[in-house]
Structure 1
Amino acid sequence: MSSPMPRLDDDVLMRLEDLSVRFPIRKRGLFARSVGEVHAVSQVDLTIRTGEVLGLVGESGCGKTTLGRCIVGDQRPTAGSIYFRDGDTTVDLATLGERQLRPYQRQIRVIFQDPFSSLNPRMTIMQIVGDPLRRHGVRGSELEDRVAHMLSRVGLSPAHMHRYPHAFSGGERQRINIARALICEPRMVIADEAVSALDVSVRAQILNLLRDLQDEFNLTYLFISHDLSVVESLCNRVAVMYLGRIVELADTDRLYPGPTHPYTEALLSAVPRPDPRLRETGERILLSDEFPDPANPPAGCVFHTRCRYVQPTCVERRPELRPIGDTHTTACHFAEDLQLRGVANVG
């Protein structure tokens, strides 16, 4: 008999429990047998609150995008649950088949990283933005009216809906991506490095647009990025990911001045300082380039091979993600003892 579905709190939209994704390593040859596994996501517990912007940060290859793909249904988890609140009921998206998942994929949409490669050059903007609606049976003048309204809402002229992607700039293409993501009126949006390919001035415009759209459509964002300065400006909370695991989670206004995990401290040391007089006074914490093999993660703390505060306990025992305040959790044995530097007091 299956266990009863948990009830999510009224302010929670989604909860990940013990979520893991492992990819088999195949040996070349006739039978291509498996010789190991890559641990892309490992036992992640994460709560996403209704209406918040949750930042997910970490180096390339840490598992951020894989986690986002699990949530939207593009990647099946190896283990764990993805609980999603649908009205008064809760559904585990990780257990649904492709057909059962389709209605929820309308509620959870993605804004892709590259505004150039993510748009089909052979389709008009009308076809690109309207495609999610067409898949759900919307046709004719209703389809065209809804596309026109959404293009206008993201700052594009509806008169250009019959043009092709090559006629638009990078910033305009990302607005098209946003329109495509929101055309089905989702409840949650996964923004995967949504502004990393844009120049600074265009990036600011897109971030402002995302804020405005969140207020208008009551959206919840999971904002995946490696740029902590962008995350600071947009996100309410931040989850820090390393080698497939969440190692720290806190409100943005607490995490940036007061990190409790050495990996977070290293990431924050690279955040640009707005005051020109202070830009050269901080010490950048340089991590070893020897990133651990995700097919053979270290025993104990996964960060101990690059941590400048490592102790024997770190090598022997893996720290669990634990509370260290009302809204702050960390996966460091010595979080209470370390005096780590945040953005405000680097130097």
Structure 2
Amino acid sequence: MTTSILESLNRPYILNLLETLLRTPSPSGYCMTIMKLVREETEKLGYAFEMTPKGNGIITVPGQAGVGADGEGTLGLSAHVDTLGAMVRAIKPSGTLRFTPIGGYAMQTVEGEYCLVHMRNGETVEGTVLSTKPSVHVYPDAREWKREEANMEIRLDESVKSKEDVEKLGISVGDFISWDPRTKLLPNGWIKSRHLDDKASVAALFGVLEWLKREGKTPRRTVKLILSTYEEVGHGASYIPPDITELIAVDMGALGDDLSATERDVSICAKDSSGPYDYGMTSRLIELAKREGIPYAVDIYPQYGSDASAALRGGSNIRAALIGPGVHASHGMERTHADAVAGTAALLLAYLLEA
């Protein structure tokens, strides 16, 4: 009996790497550590890794000899390592920090969260995100106080009582702030953590690379994996290598309202805020998911954009599609399942072995 791609994936490898990625701080613009991590992992697998001037990573997987000469070009797969976070906007006279968001999230999703302030000397200071009226015992309107940027602050876990005390620690305006991911991988396959958008997809891409290396398989045509570092602020893959003619953005699938995907499905997005994705590519992904027995759903995301959206806005002359593991409560306390991450890797492998 032939083993399917889905069954032959190395799930422990994918999930162990995912946990490492989730625990590595990487708000947009502060991705040096995580890019070093993915570079080292790529080199362990024996693939070429290069960095763009902007800081994106490109991993090249050579295709079969002679394929692509008829103008098919290179297949691109993209996922982003950057996450939501914040930056120090001001140091208040009281010794707390005002922060400015990195990425789009509702303020109530970070209230009460632990965080790290990353100083430019390489050190970190711990803190907690709070409303400026954090206690119902003190402020009669604490419950109604609007959770917006001006009404939020970070309480530092240091003995500071003034702006000068904070500055002595080495904290400055412009320092990056990362949220505690609170990562938990449960024995039953459920994965809950901040930043599954989009580190679950990055882990799936490395599951693809590990499978190709272990099975000794070569994709039909050359594949370039793009690991972007500014997706959450809108311009992650605005530049892609010019030889790419097809790009599959691999990003989390949104769940809820009138959407049909679940946390155990691969979400195939037919249209997002940037418009419809390529009809032929989307149709082929649906056919392959059916053929490989991969649970999937087709959905439309009106409040969503991807690395493919950025590439198209940047002028890339490409066909584009979007898939990814279903993730509940996106840009909040997110959750997915190992089945969705593995299914995403399996669908990508099915596509690149034939595309």
TM-score by length of 2: 0.27
TM-score by length of 1: 0.27
User: Higher relative CO (CA 8 A, sep ≥ 6), structure 1 or 2?
Assistant: 2
Between Structure 1 and Structure 2, the one with more strand by share is 2
